[in-house]
Amino acid sequence: MQDNLFKINETEYILPGSRACQGCGLTLAYRHMLKALRENTVLTIPASCLCVLHGLYPITPVTVPCLNTTFASTAASASGIAAGLRALNKTDITVVAMAGDGSTYDMGIQALSGAAERTTDFIYVCYDNEGYMNTGTQRSSATPMGAITTTTPILTKEHSKKDFVRIMEAHDLPYLATTSPAYPIDLYEKFVKAKRIKGTRYMHIYSPCPPGWMFPAKDTVRMGQLAVETGIVVLFEIEDGKFRFTGRSKTMAERGKKQPIINYVGKQGRFRKMSIEQLNRLQAWVDSRWNDYLRKAEG
């Protein structure tokens, strides 16, 4: 993939006036995702920060049609839309189901897994802000070990983040990619590619969240960059079974270098009660995954 700022679609699909927080990583990613997918896109979303961003009918800053659904039925809802469009012989419309990590990792996994096994034709997007953020930062199975949430108020989260991307990898999808709003061109190009492919495509967006992760709103992009530079977030794509690093992660893999995880967790208030033992465990978790991906890239 070639970095080229000039080929990004100039049309805006989110107009000024969204109700998301200042510095929201999801909003930044969503803007570039819609630029890549363009007009002929129909969305289905459950309750979430994304739902709040969309606002209440008839006032919304988003210019593509969207169906609100329930958490557990997000992928089933997309399957229904895809079947309806097929019946109408409308083959040029991209169906997108988009949900947070709480909705995806915890509540929507069974409908998503079923649809993926049937290779239903839609793009599933999980924006991972590592908690139930819309309702005030409750713990999800995507919350990293050592983070404070409102449902882990005294002690930090003890268990490691569920590696949901690997669960989706096991479905042998035609296309799967991880992205970050801190690298918008990488994100844009992956969505352009996903749009062209048929079957179930899975896109993961790591979305820094200033209030939930407790960092200043101005630092969203830097936080996204640090996640990648420390290797806790890895940018890659798998197309027809072939794994490849992309963007900054590719450069890091080539140079054999990544930053220590303290450079990332030390900048977020949610990790302020993390013990040294947890920090070491998190570093070991990051190193182990990074080495697995290096092996995968070698083939």
Ligand X SMILES: Cc1ncc(C[n+]2csc(CCOP(=O)(O)OP(=O)(O)O)c2C)c(N)n1
> Which residues of this protein are in contact with ligand SF4, per CB under 6 A?
20-21, 24, 26, 49, 129, 133-134, 209-212
Q: How far is the CB of 123 from ligand SF4 (least distance, A)?
A: 20
Tokens representing 275 are 């013990």
71 touches which of ligand X, ligand SF4, none (CB within 5 to 8 A by kind)?
ligand X
Task: Report if residue 237 touches ligand X, rule: CB under 6 A.
Answer: no
Nearer residue to ligand X within complex by CB, 100 or 231: 100
Q: How far is the CB of 241 from ligand X (least distance, A)?
A: 29
132 touches which of ligand X, ligand SF4, none (CB within 5 to 8 A by kind)?
ligand X
Tell me which DSSP letter residue 157 carries: P
Task: Report if residue 132 touches ligand X, rule: CB under 6 A.
Answer: yes
Exactly one of 20, 34, 42, 49 binds ligand X (CB under 6 A); that residue is 49
Q: Which class for 288: exposed (0-12), middle (13-18), buried (19 or more C-beta within 10 A)?
A: exposed
d(CA 299, CA 292): 11
Task: Report if residue 99 touches ligand X, rule: CB under 6 A.
Answer: yes
Nearer residue to ligand SF4 within complex by CB, 21 or 64: 21
Q: What is the 3-state secondary structure (H, E, C) of 181-199?
A: CCCHHHHHHHHHHHHHCCC
Task: Report if residue 103 touches ligand X, rule: CB under 6 A.
Answer: yes
d(CA 290, CA 36): 28
Q: How far is the CB of 50 from ligand X (least distance, A)?
A: 6
Q: How far is the CB of 136 from ligand SF4 (least distance, A)?
A: 8
**Omega of the bond prior to 153 within 30 degrees of 0, cis?**
no
Q: How far is the CB of 256 from ligand X (least distance, A)?
A: 34
Nearer residue to ligand SF4 within complex by CB, 25 or 85: 25
d(CA 53, CA 104): 18
101 touches which of ligand X, ligand SF4, none (CB within 5 to 8 A by kind)?
ligand X
**Closest C-alpha among 52, 104, 53 to residue 78:** 104
d(CA 108, CA 100): 10
Helix (H) or strand (E) holding 49: helix 49-54
Exactly one of 71, 243, 285, 293 binds ligand X (CB under 6 A); that residue is 71
